[in-house]
Structure 1
Amino acid sequence: MADGPVVIFVDFANHDFSAERTEALKPMAEEIGRAPGFLWKIWTEDRQAGRAGGVYLFSSRALAETYVEAHRLRLAKRGVHEMVAEYRSINATLSAINHAPVGQLPSGQ
């Protein structure tokens, strides 16, 4: 199996959805953007369920796994100890038809 781009779904408990939290997380967002293999992230929130997380695209499974382990440690320092991460490969051909930002994918995908 070829090691191509991977989507990660990350989810964890969160109860602070304030503007102050958003402002405080800007440096983390910038740090995430510098992770090896990182292509993009959509930040997610479910205020009613008290959940937050994101959908990420990484250039490879190996780099995604490395990122997730570092992110677990980063979140643990903020008091988050139960983070769920799920990995999925992508179908770039079908995703392009549905306007996914697959133009950012490494060549050959």
Structure 2
Amino acid sequence: DAHVSLGFCRSHPMAHVAMAEGRIETLRILTICPSVLLLPGVLLADQVATANAAKIAPPDQMIPLMDLTATYDRLDWGTAEGQQRRAAAEKWEVLVPRIINTALIFGL
């Protein structure tokens, strides 16, 4: 693929699938500087980017559509709405069209 795919949450449905299928042995979570969103050509997808129904556009068009509460704050996991909102937030992806400079990766 021509893009590095990043998620906004520490969990992502495709990571779970890859672990269950044995394609990933050890999952490592990296923290990337948010300035990566300002790089030329970066796109955001409102769900797994390979999904047919995924809406993919530049960050300035997509960030206003994000459920930032579900992504970054606590939700009531005891409700179906809270669970659905968090599940949707976990699917959002950042598509970076090039290798990410190690200076933008924290904790290496």
TM-score w.r.t. length of structure 1: 0.29
TM-score by length of 2: 0.29
Higher strand share: 1
